[in-house]
Amino acid sequence: MIINHPLLGPRDSAEFTYMGDASLIHRPDWQAGDAVAQFVEYGYQRANPAGLHRELWFHEGGDRSWLVVTRNTVTHEITSVELARDVARAEGRSK
Amino acid sequence: MRYSAFKVIKEALTGHRGWGPAWRDADPKPEYDTIIIGGGGHGLATAYYLAKIYGGQRIAVIEKGWIGGGNVGRNTTIIRSNYLLDGNEPFYEFSLKLWEGLEQDLNYNAMVSQRGILNLIHTDAQRDAFIRRGNAMILNGADADLLSTAQIKKRYPFLNTDNARFPIKGGLAQHRGGTVRHDAVAWGYARGADMHGVDIIQNCEVTGFLIEDGVCKGVETSRGTIKAKKVASCVAGSSSRLMDKAGMRLPIESHVLQAFVSEGLKPLLPGVITFGAGHFYCSQSDKGGLVFGGDIDGYNSYAQRGNLPVVEDVCEGGMAIFPMLGRARLLRMWGGIMDMSMDGSPIIDKTHIDGLYFNGGWCYGGFKATPASGYVYAHLLATDTPHKTATAYRFDRFAKGLMIDEKGQGNQPNLH
Ligand SMILES: Cc1cc2nc3c(=O)[nH]c(=O)nc-3n(C[C@H](O)[C@H](O)[C@H](O)COP(=O)(O)OP(=O)(O)OC[C@H]3O[C@@H](n4cnc5c(N)ncnc54)[C@H](O)[C@@H]3O)c2cc1C
């Protein structure tokens, strides 16, 4: 697979390490009343869809940036690649 | 019809006119006591043991394609019980014992071949870990044998024991491990289940569940509604997709695992060998092809085909210990979808929905588990209590911190 890195252009997916569902960006609030239940959900439960999947890839063999890749798990086709930083900010994280 | 040498001779002399189909291709009835979703090895084994041991039930196996078209027909056929942890080893040893009696039990030739499996050791630390694992196996009634480099050289003269980066420093052997003809396992269990009255319904996809007030009362399928008192999911790589229809999220990611077969060669590899410094394992099929594989591709996939970086990685691993592999030509390669769980171990449990049961999370190691998985799942379905070898395979183990993590990798499915 080729991942079209927003800063570096097309790169071989073998340069990356895969982390899983991009919902991992949303780490639960450890002070919430039901923090334990939220962390079990966050740590272990996955949607694991057949079809479009937003997922985290780490450019370990490159510029070490984290990306959010939107990829179809049935065809492996990649339709969008964003910097995880931009996604996280847009979704209200790490202001 | 019983198969026997006498029957083979009789049929040979009478023009092979007396062989009937091995099982009926049944049409769905409106209602069953138990529906098992998924006609893979585990689903068919579950139906067989449920009908045979617990009896008196109307049982159906519902398969969206044809039986044996999933992972049971795609795997590299290795059976073994060389696990470390208490939650796992008694279960896998139970499975290996069932394999040992399977062909007599089923009256079906599944080509169970206990040709042995050898896990190679490349470092001192690895030797320590393997000794520990061997002891755990012996404590659980399995066999384990620590081999020296000299013993390995004698048995496998073609191995490159002096590789500069990965010298072979010994190995942990399980002589009762081996290989089984994978399709024959599906067919044998299907035939056995059919003889006990189980309906095997092919080309019938489960598209939803009938759930009323927290109770599952049947399934919606591409061939209509089928009611049942108990519904048992057993769909391996499709687990998340199916349970999503019951509103459940699972501690599972689906990943693709590839396998490879070379052209047919004369007999040269007398058992199963696994590389200890990378991902590569190999055996030789009875047809002569070298059957080998390695790591999963590492990203969520339902594609049943993989990509080239893993092909390269597997071949490099092979060449490191097994230089003669470079002269063999690759004949076929394919992929299957693995239900990779968060701790690398399976789940066989009730769900929070009454009447709905779950079996999955087998990762890349569920073939060897087929007989025991069917046996203990049948036990759960019939008695609503876990079988004594499967008490640890619960849904709530993640919330309770009771993970069964053989490799100590944590909740990262692609590392198991
Ligand atoms: C390349 C490869 C190599 C492997 N090597 C080994 C090995 O050497 N040793 C080992 O122990 N294990 C190995 N495995 C793992 C092993 O094959 C699996 O863990 C095991 O086969 C899974 O159980 P099963 O046989 O029931 O699955 P499957 O055969 O996949 O059965 C599941 C069935 O469910 C059906 N299904 C799915 N969704 C629906 C639906 N909605 N309605 C109806 N039916 C449905 C599917 O069509 C399928 O037939 C390997 C796997 C692969 C892919």
Q: The tokens 């009789």 sit on which residue? A: B10
Interchain pair B309, A13: CB under 8 A = yes
Total residues belonging to chain A: 95
Long-range contacts of B289-292 (CB under 8 A, 24+ apart): B289/B261, B289/B262, B289/B263, B289/B264, B289/B265, B289/B331, B290/B261, B290/B262, B290/B265, B290/B325, B290/B328, B291/B76, B291/B77, B291/B259, B291/B260, B291/B261, B292/B76, B292/B259, B292/B260, B292/B261, B292/B262, B292/B318, B292/B325
The answer, yes or no, to whether residue B64 has pLDDT greater than 90, is yes
Dihedral of alpha carbons B76, B80, B84, B87, sign: positive
Domain count, chain A: 1
Q: How far is A81 from chain B (nearest CA, A)?
A: 15
Cα maximum dimension of chain A: 44
B346 lines ligand 1 (CB under 6 A): no
pLDDT tens profile B272-294: 999 999 999 999 999 999 999 99
pLDDT tens profile B19-29: 999 999 999 99
Q: How far is the CA of B44 from the centre of ligand 1 (A)?
A: 12
Please tell me the predicted confidence (pLDDT) of residue A95. 62
Q: How far is A86 from chain B (nearest CA, A)?
A: 22
Q: How far is the CA of B237 from the centre of ligand 1 (A)?
A: 7
φ, ψ dihedrals at B343, nearest 5°: -125, 10
Average pLDDT over every residue of B87-109:
98
Instruction: Write the DSSP assignment of B191-226 as a string of letters.
Output: HHHHHTT-EEE-S--EEEEEEETTEEEEEEETTEEE
Atom of ligand 1 nearest to the CA of B259: 1
CA-to-CA distance for B82 and B75, rounded, in angstroms? Answer: 18
Instruction: Write the DSSP assignment of B271-319 as a string of letters.
Output: SEEE-SSSS-EEEE-TTSEEEEEEEEEEEE--SS---HHHHHHHHHHHH
Mean pLDDT of chain B: 97
The answer, yes or no, to whether residue B345 has pLDDT greater than 70, is yes
CA-to-CA distance for B299 and B302, rounded, in angstroms? Answer: 10
Average pLDDT over every residue of B371-384:
98
Element housing B383 (H / E): helix B370-383
Please tell me the predicted confidence (pLDDT) of residue A10. 98
Please tell me the predicted confidence (pLDDT) of residue B186. 98
Q: How far is the CA of B96 from the centre of ligand 1 (A)?
A: 18
Instruction: Write the DSSP assignment of B74-136 as a string of letters.
Output: TS--EE-----STTTHHHHHHHHHHHHHHHHHHTS----B---EEEEE-SHHHHHHHHHHHHH
Which tokens hold the place of B91? Answer: 């279960």
Could you say which of A41, A45, A55 has the minimum Cβ distance to residue B300? Answer: A55
Average pLDDT over every residue of B42-67:
96
Interchain pair B302, A71: CB under 8 A = no
Interchain pair A46, B250: CB under 8 A = yes
Question: What is the residue range of A37's domain?
Answer: 2-94
CA-to-CA distance for B211 and B209, rounded, in angstroms? Answer: 6
Task: Supply the CATH number for residue A37's domain.
Answer: 3.30.2270.10
Please tell me the predicted confidence (pLDDT) of residue A71. 98
Atom of ligand 1 nearest to the CA of B80: 11
Cα maximum dimension of chain B: 65
The answer, yes or no, to whether residue B68 has pLDDT greater than 80, is yes
Domains and CATH numbers, chain B: 24-77+182-251+343-415 (3.50.50.60), 111-178+253-341 (3.30.9.10)
B362 lines ligand 1 (CB under 6 A): yes
Interchain pair A40, B399: CB under 8 A = yes
The answer, yes or no, to whether residue B130 has pLDDT greater than 80, is yes
The answer, yes or no, to whether residue B169 has pLDDT greater than 70, is yes
- The pLDDT tens digits along chain A (95 residues) read 999 999 999 999 999 999 999 999 999 999 999 999 999 999 999 999 999 999 999 999 999 999 999 999 999 999 999 999 999 999 988 76
Please tell me the predicted confidence (pLDDT) of residue A93. 85
Q: The tokens 């199916």 sit on which residue? A: B242
Please tell me the predicted confidence (pLDDT) of residue B31. 98
CA-to-CA distance for B342 and B363, rounded, in angstroms? Answer: 10
Residue B213, number of CB atoms within 10 A of its CB:
6
Interchain pair A40, B398: CB under 8 A = yes
B229 close to B216: Cβ distance less than 8 angstroms: no
* ipTM exceeding cut-off 0.90 for this assembly: yes
